[in-house]
Structure 1
């Protein structure tokens, strides 16, 4: 019912019958700018899949009910030469869309039978039938090209829990651990592993399924973020390539060495195609002519932000090569052109994410698109490309892209009814001089009704990652237009350590958290603060993850009280504690330099002595809001508690917003709206005096 409410909202907006309201501390007034409630009312598009003929695209749209505190997703099909049709209308979520290779059916995942299973329907949504009935449900599936089999992913329990070890204690509530990696990002290990199964398929039914990884205590796809893109059939339908990191415990936690494995359906053997390649190797994809396999590859073990390359292997002789070797950019989201001569993908260049075409034999790399936007994914259509696109000023929509000119045309209008009623602030690109004589790209976002004769408080946005991108992303939490709508000027620098400016620029943050990247922040905010319409006496610094760490660090180096307010979400406060409580140890080994007890490690010792924010709390002199989620296992919530408790004990005005049911992010609608309200109440109280 709540989903219908949001669709009605969109219709009313389109007809001009609904007034958007913005609540402010002083009262409520009609306005045309973003509010948290409006932000959460957008339909969120995703799960794009182009049909085998390239003439249609299926996709999902999620609508969030704030009242029910959850989302519902339905499936739509767009004829690229005609209309769009909504083909599911249920209270459940339909996701994991896969076209059957003959284009006559659409497979998808749904929990409407009680567990997540594969369903199938005609292209118009009729003849909807459940295909699988797997105990415990499945997590993804793919048809073989010849439609004789499907593969699916299922969790398999292989480890003993406390009740298996002590069956006479059925009410015991405990875990017994003997190695690390017992929890990851936002969940504890549940003694199960993702395994790939293969089964015979005929329309509407499957046969007995075979586990192609029997008794292996490894995950394919990899947890926690890997999906069905990490698994693919070969063109002949007789082999499956998949991504897996076949390590456990401490070895798993300290390594990024995933590999591409090739499983033969006929003889049930598995071969490692990337033996000796030590970094992340992910997402294998076969060329349409069956001669090649390509995948994303990083070179160095333990470095999650290494250059992401394209490797291509000739299947006949096993020879492989890096077709991006001479290119100083990373690329992801690979898809083969129909002629098997090139590969399309997404790459960050100077703070925008663009589509590129990579020639397999000639090693030529051509930029296809150029604009102020981010492409998030790309697929091949009959007459060009279909891509999902966002910007700082617009949520995701699907676009048709001309492969020769790069020109794009929107083919969906999911967010248009609301967007037509909103005024967005100007987004401006500036280049700022850094302290070491280089140029830094800084995005400046202005209030929607900007008046150059007024003075506005400004917010320095500190990006996470630390090698995250400050490109043209659209966020449902760190939304720049939302911040600007509250009458702030946003300063978002592409400081040292961010992609899109060459690998050297990206790597100049590792083991130097409090070094040049902090100087880059200050260069950005000081430059913008000199503008006549910026109130240099009311500046704030905000950020999450590494951005949250940055806020803590800047709070301890707040000379002349440059900043009057700080907001840190899930930031690192104490490096010693971080090293001993985080989960992916390769991250802290690479970025901080290693363990605090290694006194012979000069890089690590410098990090712990000079860069840990808790060492500089004597200099804290401005109010701080600390936000953290209890299910954040990357940067455990005790880091936030430590920062907040310290501020209170030192007499620094502070607030602590704690989410018991959120992780490194805030994902639930009511929590998300609460986050926004507390965020701006704190800023307004301290920067709008």
Structure 2
């Protein structure tokens, strides 16, 4: 309690009313970004075309089940930014109509008033607020005026209340410590979690409850007023962290009520129920020690959510938990050995539909709540994304794979999924097609490993092709049928490469044992799995075994650095983005201490079996003396998760070893490369480097074997 009071004086709640409210008329703030006019030449997929595709997101079904609202984002390469507009189509995919055309993005769009109007958030000037408009896009009206804006919102079932996400000040700045030094800009820090992913933590999100009459939001109240806790949780928390009870009298929110060091070492979040009338707050998941997230409440008041068991283990199995109206809790997935990503109640409450990684894809499943029987609703060589009902048994979702980005689909048990949106059909139809193959590779410990192989356009098995080993990040992220705007397998194949993408140890979708094996064993079985995949593919006559490269980001970048010193001449070159080169430095440079504590066994000064293994055998820097191939490193200077100095260390080591090396740093990017022109530059540098060393004109990598490692 003393800690809470101490921090309360450091928090300044957002002012409820801004000194300058948003207008109801959208003023032109620069050129409108829309679908670019691009031409495909000779069927070739280029970085420019990759950044010209429409990015479909957020399909929402109208209350009567007849219309679908969704967003499409286009990038403007010249302006170096993107913009999201809203579209509406019939539930069968007909009559797709763009309903907004504005200089800023409309986000968090939902139907209100039975489908007659739409609520959304929109940024005008420097502040984002909540707006409403008619279902055809006319009659736009700003309904909030929060000084720090609105990041997102969830309306209550009766639409008389709304919970708004807005930022509040956190901690003290230089002027709070020294009011007379008006131009001082120092950071004065006394505890951990002072930075997170790509920001210095100066504000945190709070949920604000308010009244809503359809045209104005009033009586705004901070649910966590004076408390130093964030809800939703940084960095990924969003409106999925908030849910209303069916009577609209209570709000359920996700929060990890910890600060400083305790926050930095723990993943123990909880679900809290807040009563609007009294302000009473109850912890619904007291004693459940891992992440508790994603609450969904049925019409009868049954609460389901995603729950992890272990404190500090962010990649733990995500279980579906149920709390019945009598308060009894039950793990519905006790006999389901896979980690769940998204859930939704069926309209009749007999089922919970969910998406989870499974055998290298992300299908849609259905669980009967009474029996916990699981059926597959939609599968294939695809990933599904999002769950919304259109009627009693029809789902609206999105689907993608290595060949195509998200489009909206409808799914019904026992029927083939139907594509509803066709945002990118015209451009994709002009591209040379690729081939996606699923392959089982035998690992060194006798397991069958699902490995995706992507073959170039006009593939001829009688020819020789250079290959790329893709090393996944996470480390516990699935190598499913993802579509990426950086690690895009279609563009890799279009450039003449065979892509090898193994589901090595430490990935979800193959049971908890397979997923958990990597923790404390970074340089172990998963590295052998990589090499098994490469060795298996080298047996194919179409693989040019002298010209194989290894690439990856984050943990994948770590993998590249480790393989560079232990590859036994399997690879001709390497490329790492945002990778971990020095695990000792990583332990003290990163911010989410629960992650390195769990994965590495603790700090390097604690001498237990796991840490000794992590900081010696698994530490890439200990194998620099073995490096014997060209290496390129890239990083964003605003990456506070894996600090860009990891890249500079690796680059310096390579140059001092006399190797060909290249470093590309992005001052304004974080863990990802997001701005359109930087994205194109990254792709050009990526293929420029690989082409230099892997294309047929490059000399074979036939140097002598690397010296034996010196780590004991």
Pairing partner for 1:551 from 548, 560, 567: 560
- What stretches of structure 1 move > 4 A for 4+ residues in a row? 1-5
- Does residue 382 of structure 2 align to residue 353 of structure 1? no
Pairing partner for 2:124 from 112, 116, 136: 112
Distance 2:640 2:415 in 1: 41
Does structure 2 conserve the Cα–Cα contact (< 8 Å) formed by 1:288 and 1:336? no
Which residue does 1:607 correspond to in 2?
614
- Does residue 602 of structure 2 align to residue 629 of structure 1? no
Distance 2:36 2:638 in 1: 32
Does structure 1 conserve the Cα–Cα contact (< 8 Å) formed by 2:34 and 2:74? no
Q: How much does 1:113 deviate?
A: 5.3
Does structure 2 conserve the Cα–Cα contact (< 8 Å) formed by 1:426 and 1:447? yes
Pairing partner for 1:386 from 387, 396, 403: 396
Does structure 2 conserve the Cα–Cα contact (< 8 Å) formed by 1:3 and 1:65? no
Q: How much does 1:651 deviate?
A: 0.3
Distance 1:470 1:5 in 2: 32
Which residue does 1:58 correspond to in 2?
69
Which residue does 1:220 correspond to in 2?
231
What does 1:216-615 align with in structure 2 at a 5 Å threshold?
216-290=227-301, 292-315=302-325, 317-382=326-391, 384-402=394-412, 404-559=413-568, 561-599=569-607, 601-615=608-622
Pairing partner for 1:189 from 201, 216, 221: 201
Secondary structure, aligned partner of 1:678: helix
Distance 2:575 2:507 in 1: 21
Pairing partner for 1:640 from 633, 647, 659: 647
Which residue does 1:664 correspond to in 2?
671
Distance 1:152 1:5 in 2: 29
Q: Deviations over 1:316-353 (max 9, x none)?
A: x2111011111111112111110112111101110010
Distance 2:372 2:294 in 1: 20
- Does residue 169 of structure 2 align to residue 153 of structure 1? no
Q: How much does 1:193 deviate?
A: 2.2
Does structure 2 conserve the Cα–Cα contact (< 8 Å) formed by 1:289 and 1:339? no
Q: How much does 1:153 deviate?
A: 1.0
Secondary structure, aligned partner of 2:273: strand
Secondary structure, aligned partner of 2:586: helix
User: Aligned in 2, Cα 1:177/1:114: closer, same or farther, shift over 3 Å?
Assistant: closer
Which residue does 2:35 correspond to in 1?
6
Which residue does 1:27 correspond to in 2?
none
Q: How much does 1:33 deviate?
A: 2.4
Q: How much does 1:633 deviate?
A: 1.0
Distance 1:77 1:388 in 2: 15
Secondary structure, aligned partner of 2:362: strand
Q: Deviations over 1:215-271 (max 9, x none)?
A: 110111111111011101111000000101111111111010010000011211000
Q: How much does 1:101 deviate?
A: 5.1
What does 1:91-110 align with in structure 2 at a 5 Å threshold?
91-100=103-112, 102-110=114-122
- Does residue 182 of structure 2 align to residue 175 of structure 1? no
Give RMSD over aligned pairs: 1.2
Does structure 2 conserve the Cα–Cα contact (< 8 Å) formed by 1:95 and 1:110? yes
Distance 2:481 2:303 in 1: 31
Gaps of 5+ in 1: 10-17, 22-30
Does structure 2 conserve the Cα–Cα contact (< 8 Å) formed by 1:558 and 1:620? no
Which residue does 1:74 correspond to in 2?
85
Does structure 1 conserve the Cα–Cα contact (< 8 Å) formed by 2:33 and 2:82? no
Q: How much does 1:213 deviate?
A: 1.1
Does structure 2 conserve the Cα–Cα contact (< 8 Å) formed by 1:33 and 1:448? no
User: Aligned in 2, Cα 1:195/1:604: closer, same or farther, shift over 3 Å?
Assistant: same
Distance 2:433 2:489 in 1: 10
Q: How much does 1:423 deviate?
A: 1.8
Does structure 1 conserve the Cα–Cα contact (< 8 Å) formed by 2:468 and 2:497? yes
Distance 1:161 1:647 in 2: 40
Q: How much does 1:114 deviate?
A: 4.3
Distance 1:5 1:353 in 2: 31
Distance 2:165 2:206 in 1: 6
Which residue does 1:649 correspond to in 2?
656
Q: How much does 1:37 deviate?
A: 0.3
Q: How much does 1:197 deviate?
A: 1.0
State TM-score, norm by structure 1. Answer: 0.95
- Does residue 99 of structure 2 align to residue 87 of structure 1? yes
Q: How much does 1:154 deviate?
A: 1.0
Secondary structure, aligned partner of 2:139: coil
Q: How much does 1:7 deviate?
A: 4.2
What does 1:36-55 align with in structure 2 at a 5 Å threshold?
36-55=47-66
Secondary structure, aligned partner of 1:368: strand
Secondary structure, aligned partner of 1:207: strand
Q: How much does 1:605 deviate?
A: 1.0
Distance 2:36 2:675 in 1: 20
Pairing partner for 1:685 from 687, 692, 701: 692
Secondary structure, aligned partner of 1:527: helix
Aligned residue pair count: 665
Secondary structure, aligned partner of 2:616: helix
User: Aligned in 2, Cα 1:679/1:158: closer, same or farther, shift over 3 Å?
Assistant: closer
Q: Deviations over 1:3-58 (max 9, x none)?
A: 6663444xxxxxxxx4x13xxxxxxxxx2021000000001011221222222111
Distance 2:510 2:228 in 1: 39
Distance 2:120 2:55 in 1: 18
Does structure 2 conserve the Cα–Cα contact (< 8 Å) formed by 1:305 and 1:467? yes
Distance 1:595 1:274 in 2: 30
Distance 1:4 1:241 in 2: 37
Q: How much does 1:613 deviate?
A: 0.4
Which residue does 1:26 correspond to in 2?
none
Distance 2:131 2:691 in 1: 50
Secondary structure, aligned partner of 1:594: coil
